[in-house]
Amino acid sequence: SVGIPGVHRLDLASMKFDTFVPYRDMPRGQEHSVYGIKADSQNNLFFFDFSADLVGKIDAKSGQITLFKTPTPNSNPRRGYMDKEDRLWFTEYRANKLAMLDTKTEKFTEWPLPTAFTYPYDVMPDKNGELWTAGMSTDRVVRLDPKTGQATEYQLPRNTNVRRVFVDNSTTPVTFWAGGNHSAEIVKVEPLD
């Protein structure tokens, strides 16, 4: 929502809106924003507070709002992908990390990226369980194995500034796709292993 730092839900049968304002009771002094929303298999809504270090949940049935603090302070969580196991994958932009919130256990896991100031914008898991991201400033695509923390970086040939990332799981090996935000190009990475 642009007008409030909150979320609106529309009931299609009644055409009535519910409005949720998760930061209403937060102390003054730090801005908060809803940045990126994803629903789990029970239609609970999860959102990111890009201005700070919070991941929020709005319970679909009760409307109760819960805020979870990321392990790294001021991490600036953003974007996200909810997998079929209700794990919420996202980036911690300012912290230079990839992260996952297991929505069933409400526990976080974080993985640092190998190159400082990568500023990851988006993350996507592939069919092999590896995570793919790219940076807004290092011109690199990163493939990270969350089991080992081992990362492989693919240096791009020019200034790229990647925002959204996509993985084509129908290929073997998987294929990574992204747009070059400042270069009017489409980026394709095909790993050789």
Question: Is a pLDDT exceeding 90 seen at residue 25?
Answer: no
Query: What is the percentage of the chain residues whose pLDDT exceeds 70?
Result: 97
Neighbour count for residue 25 (Cβ, 10 Å): 7
pLDDT at 1: 40
Question: Region 175-184: what's the mean pLDDT?
Answer: 87
Instruction: Answer yes or no: is pLDDT of 51 > 90.
Output: no
If you average pLDDT over every residue of the chain, what do you get? 92
pLDDT for 2: 46
Report which of 73, 125, 136 is spatially closest to residue 100, judged by C-alpha positions. 125
Alpha-carbon distance 170 to 66, whole Å?
37
Least confident interval from 100-104, 150-154, 181-185? 181-185
Q: What is the pTM of this model?
A: 0.91
Classify 70 as helix, strand or coil. Answer: coil
C-alpha 141/C-alpha 162 separation (Å) is 9
